[in-house]
Amino acid sequence: MRQLPVAWRWALAGLIAVIALAVALWPRDRDADTAADNGQQARAGAGVSEPQRLAANLAACPRPAAGATGSGPLAGLTVGCLADGGTVDLAAALAGKPALLNLWAYWCGPCAQELPYLQQFAQRAGNAITVLTVHSDPDEAKAISRLTGLNVKLPGVLDADARVRTAVGAPAVLPISVLLRADGSIAQVVVRAFSGVDDISDTVARELGVAV
């Protein structure tokens, strides 16, 4: 059999190498692009848009005072802030003042009835106590939508995996209100919905000694 000239053999070998490299790389690049697109879509579907946060107009989450350190059962627990999407060191942010943490979820009917009462109580209490909502469900978008619909502007955090409820030893029901002393210790876990602003005020006065 007649052999090809050396130059042709080198050219043919080079062409085969180029084709092999292209075949090897193409599926990998395409798969990477698809995975990246899927990841972006997943993040977009799970996230909350900036216009949605702005429309909710929630109060800013409490932030730790200079040098503040958290103590009590919530020490070291970090959650997301519904108002801006940032993170909050919960115990440190609440340190130094009594607090009422209301655990709720967008799908909870009694929670929807109770939240406006908590809003009114917070307005009455002023700076005497921190009132913070804790959404105990991973769907942040529905939490913000629910608060917007109720016209509740209280500061709120997202507790997607119910770590707050676990930390305070509360049962798996909603709503729950956790009354914290200024040192971070638990005064009472209220496993029921409040019936009105006076009910909240009386409970806070009895358990925390804060009269408003």
Q: What is the DSSP letter of 127?
A: G
Q: What is the mean pLDDT of residues 117-139?
A: 97
**Rounded CA separation 32/81 (Å):** 32
Q: How confident is the model at residue 69 (pLDDT cuts 50, 70, 90)?
A: confident
Three-state DSSP at 164 gives helix
pTM, two decimals, is 0.78
Q: Quick check: 25 pLDDT over 50?
A: no
Q: How confident is the model at residue 6 (pLDDT cuts 50, 70, 90)?
A: low
Q: What is the mean pLDDT of residues 106-128?
A: 97
Mean pLDDT of the chain: 84
Chain centroid to Cα 6, Å, comes to: 68
Closest CA to 103 of 193, 196, 1: 193
Beta-ladder partners of 130: 99
Length of the chain: 212
Comparison of pLDDT for 16 and 78, the residue scoring more: 78
Phi, psi angles (nearest 5°) of residue 132? -135, 130
State which amino acid sits at residue 80: G
Q: What is the mean pLDDT of residues 170-180?
A: 97
Closest CA to 105 of 194, 193, 46, 174: 174
- Give the 3-state secondary structure percentages of the chain, helix then strand then coil, rounded to 5: 50, 15, 35
Residues contacting 3, CB < 8 A, separation 6+: 9
| Secondary structure E strands in 15-92 | 78-81, 87-89
Q: How confident is the model at residue 28 (pLDDT cuts 50, 70, 90)?
A: very low
Measured over all CA atoms, what is the biggest interatomic distance in the chain, rounded to whole angstroms?
A: 105
Lowest mean pLDDT among 40-44, 55-59, 78-82, 84-88: 40-44
**Rounded CA separation 130/125 (Å):** 9
Q: What is the DSSP letter of 102?
A: E
Q: Among all chains, which residue has been given the structure tokens 């529905």? A: 142
Q: Quick check: 31 pLDDT over 70?
A: no
Query: Would you call the peptide bond into 175 cis, given omega within 30 degrees of 0 as the criterion?
Result: yes
Which residue blocks in 47-133 are alpha helix, DSSP H?
A: 50-56, 90-94, 109-125
Q: Quick check: 29 pLDDT over 50?
A: no
First vs last Cα of the chain: how many Å apart? 104
Q: How confident is the model at residue 40 (pLDDT cuts 50, 70, 90)?
A: very low
Q: Quick check: 107 pLDDT over 60?
A: yes
Task: Give me the percent of the chain exceeding a pLDDT of 70.
Answer: 78
